[in-house]
Chain A
Amino acid sequence: MNPQPFNAEDLARRKKRAIIMALVLIGLVVLFFATTIVRLGGYTAPMTGG
């Protein structure tokens, strides 16, 4: 069995994906925070509909 199945190119690709994932997670944190602030202002349809 090959002890090092991922070559340098694979690892570079993985690193790039990890950076994008980190940015997405940071974006989600900002999104949730901003949404909370906006919702506190009451600009939305009733949560349960109707």
Chain B
Amino acid sequence: MDLVIATAIPPVQYVACHKVTEMSDIQYDISSQTEALGGQGTAGDYFALLKPRVMSLVIFTAFVGIIAAPGTLHPFLAVVALLAIAVGAGASGALNMWYDADIDALMKRTRSRPVPRGAILPGEALGFGATLAAGSVLALGLMVNVVAGLLLAFTIFFYVAIYTMWLKRWTPQNIVIGGAAGALPPMIGWAAVTGAIDLGAISLFLIIFIWTPPHFWALALFREDDYEAAGVPMLPNVAGRDETRKQTLLYTLVLIPVAFLPALLGVCGLLYVAGVSVLSVMFLYYAINVYRLRQGAAADKACKKLFGFSILWLFLVFALIPVERLLHIASLTSVLP
């Protein structure tokens, strides 16, 4: 049986030429690094395919969506919803690693991932990701509700087909539009409770959507060489570092009022407003530093600080919502005349 499987799988010839676009010139053959037989991956390799760090952020934001939504959901079904959303996010990660194996092999940050390392074949990653994607969508749709299931399906489709296969290699606006995929989990969590998409859910979506560009451009500014080597058209490589700094500051200026939307819509209360005010001033300070400091180690340090703080900012802004619920703090709309 093993022999039959072994002879049925052709040696890997995974050349990325078919994906080359006008803006990225990716020519990398990972066949020398992959085993032809397959079946070499450990359970840990498969777990790494799920991008567990990204998954943890998805679980957290989806949890906040569940908490913020009006209505009640049985705690067990909330856990089921979070599990399905986490698996769906993991499936997206696996499908991303399948398609991006060629450029992952070229970047320092990603070359030790299971597919470019040769531990898992591209086809195995594809099968694993597709199975998990179908399973998670069906589970959420059947066990929680159809709207949440459809939203999860759309999220996976958007991340894999729109962002990974199309935008990432084609336009420096890749993470601006592609950020929608990362912004959808709180909306899925909200829909799991209400069975609908409301303005409150959209406000949570908008926060992550507008937060994504300054977050990733701060990373791209100090990882520019990595993206350059892989031929990924990130904004610093295409429009230049100064333009990226300007765009980062502009998106930060848009992000600050957007962060107050949940309070204006009655989703959050005064603690949220106070917390977001302080955190947003700090975010703006780091973004101004990125715009202002343009030379040498100080410039790199400013980008790293903004990148690190942006993660903390998102975590704390979203954490304020369940904290308010725990403390029974009234929503802003209920205390205003």
Contact = CB atoms under 8 A, between A and B. Distances in A.
B7 A1 contact: yes
B177 interface: no
Contacts of B10: none
Given A3-B3, A10-B40, A13-B42, A41 B191 contact: no
B143 A35 contact: yes
Interface in B40-84: 40-43, 46, 71-74, 76-77, 80, 83
Contacts of A47: 145-146, 195
Interface residues of A, number: 26
B277 interface: no
A31 to B, nearest CB: 7
A36 to B, nearest CB: 9
A31 B192 CA distance: 17
Given A6-B2, A10-B40, A49 B196 contact: yes
25 contacts: A4-B2, A5-B6, A6-B37, A6-B39, A13-B42, A14-B39, A17-B42, A17-B46, A31-B143, A32-B143, A35-B77, A35-B80, A35-B143, A38-B76, A38-B77, A41-B74, A43-B72, A43-B77, A45-B73, A45-B147, A45-B193, A45-B196, A46-B195, A48-B195, A49-B147
Interface of A: 1, 3-6, 10, 13-14, 16-17, 20, 31-32, 34-35, 38-39, 41, 43-50
A31 B37 contact: no
A10 to B, nearest CB: 6
A41 B71 CA distance: 16
Interface residues of B, number: 30
Interface of B: 2-3, 6-7, 37, 39-43, 46, 71-74, 76-77, 80, 83, 143-147, 191-196
B68 to A, nearest CB: 15
B145 A46 contact: yes
B83 to A, nearest CB: 8
Contacts of B193: 45
Best-buried of A6, A32, A45, A50 by chain B (most CB within 10 Å): A45
A24 to B, nearest CB: 10
A20 B43 contact: yes
A31 B7 CA distance: 38
A48 B43 contact: no
Nearest to B143: A35
A49 B6 CA distance: 47
A40 B71 CA distance: 18
Contacts of B42: 13, 16-17
B233 to A, nearest CB: 38
A6 B5 CA distance: 11
Contact of A13 (B40, B77, B147, B191): B40
